[in-house]
Structure 1
C-alpha cells in the first residue's frame, strides 16, 4: 500500500481494517461455502430425515441458503440507515462485531449439541446408530431453534459490516483521492484473500473433521476480526453521521414556541425532519442509482447460485482427479483465484487496451452490461453441462468429471469483476456525501431481492437443466430492460 505522503497516509488504520476485512470475509465466505451442505447433510438430514425425502430436503436446503444470503443483504440496508442517519460508520461496525461474535458462539454450541458423542462426521446413519432413533424427535425443536437463532445473529452481524467499505474511504482526506482509490483496491483484494482461504479451507475442514471443527474455524476468525477492528479504534478517522436532508433545526423550547406562535409561524417548520422525510429525500436524490441497481436483481440471483445449485450439481459428478478427491463445495474458491487474477488484468491490460485501440472511454454501465452478459453465458454453460450429466448412457452419469464446471466458473468470475466491483465504485462515486452508505446499501438490497426471489423459485418443481436455461433467458431480458432504463444516465463528474 503506497501513499503520496507517508506522514499523512493512514497506515495503521488501513492495517487494522485490512486484517478485519480478510478475517471477517473468511467467516462470511466460509459459511456460505458449506451452508447448503450443512442444511442438507447435517441439520435437516439429522432432524427431518425421517419425515422428508432426499429431494425435498435438497430443495428446502436451497431455499434456506437463499433466505440466509438475503438476510445478509437486508441487514446491509439497515446498516446504511444506521451509519448515515444515526450511528455513523464506526459505531455501526462495532454493532456488527457484537452480533457476529454472539451468533458464532451460539452456532458452535448448537453444532456441538446436535453432534452425538464420539461422532466426528455428519453421516446420519452413524449418528442415528450412536444416539438412538428417538433423538431426532426429542431434540427437533431445540436444535432447529438454536440453529436459526445462531444463523440469524451471525448473518445480521455480517450484513451490518458492509459499512466497512465506506469506512475505508473515510480514513482519507478530500485531497487524498489517489490514495483513497488505492485504498479501495486493497480493500477488495483482502476481501478476496479471505474468501480464497475460506472457500478452500472450510470445505476441507468440513470433509476431514466434520461441521463442528469447520464452524470452529469460522467463529475463530469472527473473534479475530472483532479484536482487530476494536484494536485499531485509537487511529481511525471517525466521520460523524450526516443527516439526509441537511437540516439541523432543533425543537423550539416553550419560550421560543410562544414567540413563534405570536409571529404566526408554525412550530412544525422548526422541527427536525422525521425519519420518513429523510428516507424520501434520500430516495429522490438517488433515483438515478436506483434505476441502475434495480435490474441487477436477476444478476445477483444467478451469481449466488455458484454456492448452492452449482455445488449440488457437482455432487452428482466425478470429484476425483486421479487419486485426489476434490469436494464440490471447494469449487467456489476457484472463483476467488480467478477474481484475484482478473482484477489487475482488466484494470492494467484490458481496459487501457480497449480505450487506446478503440478510442473510447469505458464507463461503469459498459462494464455492468458486459458483466450481466457473462453471467447469462455462465448459466448456458451450466445448462449444457447438466444435459450432458443426464445423458441416459450406461456408466455416464456420475462419471462426468468436476473439471467440466471450470468454464462456467470462469464466466461467472469474469461477470463478478465487471459487475460486483463496479457497483461498489459506482455507489461511492455517484452518491452525494451524505448518502454514500445508503447508496451502497441499495446495491445490497438488489442482492437481497435477487436471492429472495431465487428462494421462491427454488420451490418450483423444475428440472435443473430447465432452470439453468430459464435463468439465462431472464438475464438476457434484464439486459434489455436495463439498457432502456439507463440509456440517458448522466454521471456526476460529467
Structure 2
C-alpha cells in the first residue's frame, strides 16, 4: 500500500492507523502501571521481604526500565525499524508479564496445602525473570511508539500530528489512572486452590492480558502503517564524535598544540563543524541534567516508601475504602487537573504580572516542591509512629498473659539482668505485652500453686501470648503472635476456644478448622467492617454472632466463652487499628504532583527548545537516563544511610534535594538561552556560500548554466 493510499484511510482527518497505536499505548500503560502499583506489596507480603529489600528491588526494576530505552532506540533506528522493534519487544514484554503472574500463584509449590510455598526460591526466580523481561520490553518500546505514531502523518498534517501527541499523552494517563484503581481491587480479592490468599495472580494476570491485547491490536493495524526504514541512529554518531574528541584531546595533550575554545573542537580533524556545533548545544543541556536524578529519586518513591507508609494508615473514606496501593491514583488525577490549570491560568497570570518565570526557574520550583512533599511525608510519618505498636528488637521478645481461670493470677517475670517484676491479673483479664530478654523466665501462680511459662524456644523480635487457667487445675498454652502490622491494611483475627469441647469456627466465610479446648486457631485475614462469626457447635446447638466493626491494620484474639442462644465472645486487642487517615497523604501527593508538572513538562519543553532538530532523540534518551539514575540514587542513599526511622530518611532525601536545588539554581543563573534554529540557519547560509564558491570555481551559474567569457 503506497503513501497516497494510506492517506485515504482516515477518520476525522487523522490517519486510521494512529487509532491502533493509541489503543496499543493505553493497554501497554495499563499493563505497566497496573503491575507496578501492587509490586512493592507483592515483594513484602508474598515474597516476604522486608521494607528495605522490597524498596531496593522495586527501584532497581524501575531503573532498568529507564535504562533500556537507549537499547530500543538503537535497535529501531539502526537495524529493525520501529515497527519490528515494537512487535518483537512487545512479545518479550507479554511473556514477562505472564511469567510474573505465574510466579504469584502461591499453590504452585504449596504441597502441604498450608498457604506457605514449600520452595520460595521458585517464586523469587520466576519473579526476577519476569521483571527483567518486562523491563526490556517496556523500556525498549518506550522511545519507539510515540515516534512511530508521528511517522503516520504527512508533512501537511502538522496540526493533526500535534493533536495526536496530546491524545497519546492522555491515553498514557488514562491507562495509568484506571490500572492503579483496578489492580489493587483485584489484588484485594481472595483466590487459591488449597488456601485463600490475596490474589496477586489476578492483579498481575489482568495487566498481562492487556499487554497481549496491546500486541494484537498493534499487529492488526500493520497493513495501514507507514513504516519508515532504519536511517541510522544519531545517538551512535554523537557517541562516536564525543569519544573521538576526548581521545584526540588526551592523545595530543603532551604536544605543543594550541588550546581550543571548546573540548568538542578536538573532533574537527574527523567530523563536520555542523555536527560538532550541534553536539555542543546538546552537551550544554546534558550538563544541566546532572542534578536532575535527585528529583526522580524522590518522585518514584510514591510507588515504594509512600505505598508502604499507606499500609499503616486508615483508608476508610466513608462510602469507599481506599487500599494502600490505590493512593497512587492521586498523582494521575492531579496531573489531569493541574496541567490545564497551569497552562491556562497560572503561567498567563505570572506573565501578566511581568515576572520572568523562565523554564529553568520553573524546574527549580518543581524540585523545591518535591522536597517540601517529603518534609510533609516526614511529619505524617512522625504522627504514624506515635500510634504504631512497640515491637521488640532482635535481642528481646514480648509476652502477654491472658487469665482464663476462676481466681486471680500472679505473674512473675525474672528478666535478668533487668530487675524482676510482677503483674496481677483478675479472672478473664488480658495483660499488656511485657518486653523481656531472651534469657528471661516467667511463671504463673494461683494461690499456692505455680507453673512455669515455657520460654525455652522463644525468638527475638517476636511476640507471644500465654493463656492460663486453673479450672480444674493449672494449664497453659503458648502461641506466637504477629510481630508486625497486618498486611495491606487488613485485620488478622484468631480465636481461643474456652469451651470444654473442640469447635470449628467460621468468620467471613473462612473456615479456620478444628480448635481444641484452650487452643488457638491460626490467624485469618479479614477486611474492613462487621464480620459474621459462625459454625460453633456446643451444648447441642449452633451459635453465631456479628463481630465488632474492624478497622484497618488491627489484630484481635477472640475468646469464645459460651454457646447459648448467641455466641459469647471477648476481644483482646493485640495490635490497635491504624489511626492516622490516608487523607493526610494528599498534601504530599499534591506537592510532588505540582512539582512534577512544573519540572517534568517544563524540562522536556526546555530541552527540545535548546536542542537541534535532528537531536531531539538524544535529549529524550538523556532525560530517561535521569529517571534511571534517580532510582539508582534511592538504592545508594537508602543503603548507605542505615537510618532506622522512616521519617528521618524522608528528611534526608528532602534535604539532599534542597541542596541539589540550590546547585541547579546557580547553574541555571549562568545558563544562556540559545535558538538552535538560528545557529543551524547560519550553517545553512555558510553551506550555500561554500557551494556557490565551488560552482563559481567550476564556471557554473545556477540560473544560466556555465559562465560566458564576457559575463562580469
Q: TM-score, normalised by structure 2?
A: 0.57
Q: Deviations over 1:132-158 (max 9, x none)?
A: 77x43xx23332222111111012101
1:318 corresponds in structure 2 to 314
- How much does 1:165 deviate? 2.9
* 2: CA distance, partners of 1:174 / 1:363: 31
Check 1:430–1:181 CA distance in 2 against 1; reply closer, same or farther (3 A cut): farther
1:409 corresponds in structure 2 to 589
In the alignment, structure 1 residue 224 sits paired with structure 2 residue 405: no
Looking at secondary structure, tell me which structure has more strand per residue.
Answer: 2
In the alignment, structure 1 residue 186 sits paired with structure 2 residue 161: no
Q: Secondary structure at the match of 1:391?
A: helix
After superposition, where does 1:137-286 map in structure 2 within 5 Å?
Answer: 139-163=119-143, 164-209=145-190, 210-239=199-228, 240-244=230-234, 286=282
2:518 corresponds in structure 1 to none
Match of 1:99 among 92, 103, 116: 92
Check 1:217–1:132 CA distance in 2 against 1; reply closer, same or farther (3 A cut): closer
Q: Secondary structure at the match of 1:317?
A: coil
Q: Deviations over 1:231-283 (max 9, x none)?
A: 22233333333443779xxxxxxxxxxxxxxxxxxxxxxxxxx9xxxx99996
With 27-36 and 346-355 compared, the bigger mean Cα shift is at: 346-355
Q: Secondary structure at the match of 1:359?
A: coil
- How much does 1:365 deviate? 2.3
2:617 corresponds in structure 1 to 437
Check 1:474–1:93 CA distance in 2 against 1; reply closer, same or farther (3 A cut): same
1:268 corresponds in structure 2 to none
Q: Deviations over 1:23-78 (max 9, x none)?
A: 111111111110000111112x2xxxxxxxxxx62211110000000010011222
* 2: CA distance, partners of 1:93 / 1:285: 30
Match of 1:288 among 284, 290, 304: 284
Check 1:154–1:243 CA distance in 2 against 1; reply closer, same or farther (3 A cut): closer
The structure with the larger Rg is: 2
1:265 corresponds in structure 2 to none
Looking at secondary structure, tell me which structure has more helix per residue.
Answer: 1
Check 1:373–1:379 CA distance in 2 against 1; reply closer, same or farther (3 A cut): same
1:420 corresponds in structure 2 to 600
Any unmatched runs of 5+ in structure 1?
A: 1-5, 46-55, 118-126, 248-273
2:500 corresponds in structure 1 to none
Q: Secondary structure at the match of 1:400?
A: coil
Q: Secondary structure at the match of 2:578?
A: coil
Q: Deviations over 1:164-207 (max 9, x none)?
A: 23333333445544433322222111110000001111111101
In the alignment, structure 1 residue 364 sits paired with structure 2 residue 359: yes
2:376 corresponds in structure 1 to 381
Q: Which has the higher contact order (CA 8 A, sep 6+)?
A: 1
1:115 corresponds in structure 2 to 107
- How much does 1:348 deviate? 2.0
Report the count of equivalent residues.
Answer: 434
- How much does 1:361 deviate? 6.6
* 1: CA distance, partners of 2:36 / 2:77: 28
* 2: CA distance, partners of 1:405 / 1:13: 41
Check 1:284–1:89 CA distance in 2 against 1; reply closer, same or farther (3 A cut): farther
Any unmatched runs of 5+ in structure 2?
A: 1-9, 191-198, 239-269, 390-574, 679-712
CA contact (8 A) 1:26 1:218 kept: yes
1:29 corresponds in structure 2 to 33
- How much does 1:362 deviate? 5.1
